[in-house]
Amino acid sequence: MAERFEALVLHQEDGRTVPRLESLSTDALPEGEVLLEVLCSTLNYKDALAITGAGKIVRSFPFVPGIDLVGRVVASSDPAWRPGELVLVTGWGMGERHWGGLAQKARLPAAWLQRLPEAMTPRRAMAIGTAGFTAMLCVMALEREGVRPGDGEVLVTGAAGGVGSIAVMLLARAGYRVVASTGKAESGPLLRELGAEQIVDRKSVAEPGAGPLASARWAGAVDTVGGPVLSGLLKAMRYRGTVAACGNAGGVELHTTVFPFILRGVRLIGIDSALAPMAEREAAWARLARDLDPDKLDRLTSVIGLEEVAAIAPRFLEGKVAGRIVVRIDPNA
């Protein structure tokens, strides 16, 4: 029987994206084998692009955004999932092409679900969310490319943001010497608590010198910013250093030369979390559950209600958000 639920719904009006809290019927949900009661969701940079309409993330309206959720199975036509089980979903086009997690109910393909890691609460899982999962994929890429803790300093750009702050924690925990690049001087003390040895201003990373190469400093880098920051850090990579590039908060263009690649053997590795295969997800989330200090994670997380989402989303695009934002959908979660 159809039930009613609250959702953040995006509409397109006079060429603008307009978010509104609405009551919907479960009949309106898109197709999928599993009906979920959503407990928590998050706000990521991509959600902000979708909710404000600043990025062409959503193409059909009305639409429910939200690229992450933790939910409880209500009903499933796929025997892999039973009512009452707690599940985690990030990416797969949820919140982009398929209605997402910023609602009390969601209906999804069974193949997108993974079990909530044991001993992880819904709220902590969403404090990690796509941002933390992406940070983990970046760290795993550096490891795979042979960047070792003794090799020298590893840079994290956009360090005060969601992906950046969790990357700082994960790299420090793995024994790397972490340097955090940020435009927010006030975030320095927290970044040090999370494990950064040094804080540098993002301008100094973007402009390490006028030539095609600068003095070699970074053994590895996690870049969440792109644009001039990525161009600058490429110039300052050490011999055979690796950059894991996942973001574009500072620009989508990349102006560089071939010299970092052909003279220093620098590797530029692209990271995508949305369509990462399930085996990689399971491995990454098992490590996130093991390696992240829950108290530190709590310190960089704020919790908001669904009714606050529309007002907060534009702050991401102004670069004003620090840390992670969890959206509590079920008041008891």
Give the residues lining the site for ligand NAP (CB under 6 A). Answer: 44-46, 130-131, 134, 158-164, 182-184, 202, 224-225, 229, 246-250, 271-274, 316, 319, 321
130 Cβ contact partners less than 8 Å away, ≥ 6 residues apart: 42, 44, 46, 67, 68, 90, 91, 273, 274
Angle (CA) 209 210 212, round 5°:
95
For the four alpha carbons of 200, 202, 204 and 210, in that order, the dihedral sign comes to: positive
Nearer to ligand NAP, 4 or 320 (CB): 320
Of 29 and 142, which has the nearer Cβ to ligand NAP? 142
Pick the closer one to ligand NAP by CB: 190 or 329: 190
Number of residue whose CB is nearest ligand NAP: 161
Polymer length in residues for the chain: 333
Shortest distance in whole angstroms from residue 20 CB to ligand NAP: 23
Distance of closest approach, residue 225 Cβ to ligand NAP, in angstroms: 4
* Nearer to ligand NAP among residue 107 and residue 235 (C-beta): 235
d(CA 313, CA 173): 30
**Dist. CA 290–CA 285, nearest whole Å:** 8
DSSP, residue by residue, 68-107: EEEEEEEEESSTT--TT-EEEEE-TTBTTTB--SSBSEEE
Residue 43 or 106: the one with the smaller Cβ distance to ligand NAP is 43
CB of 47 to ligand NAP, least distance (A): 8
Beta-strand relationship, 218-223 and 237-245: parallel
Which residue pairs, CB below 8 angstroms and at least 24 apart, start in 303-306? 303/123, 303/327, 303/328, 304/43, 304/328, 306/6, 306/8, 306/21, 306/102, 306/103
On whether the CB atoms of residues 98 and 269 are closer than 8 A, the answer is: no
- CB-wise, 107 or 217, nearer to ligand NAP? 217
Minimum Å gap between C-beta 218 and ligand NAP is 16
Residues in contact with 28: Cβ distance below 8 Å, sequence separation at least 6, in sequence order: none
* Residue in the block written with tokens 């990357």: 167
Q: Which helix (H) or strand (E) holds 214?
A: none
* Shortest spacing between CB 270 and ligand NAP, in angstroms: 8
Give min distance, CB of 182 to ligand NAP, in A.
Answer: 3
In the bound state with ligand NAP, the residue whose beta carbon lies nearer, of 220 and 228, is 228
- Cα–Cα distance, 76 to 255 (Å, whole number): 49
Question: 55 or 62: whose CB is closer to ligand NAP?
Answer: 55
Question: Least Å distance between CB 11 and ligand NAP?
Answer: 23
* Residue 169 CB, nearest approach to ligand NAP (Å): 13
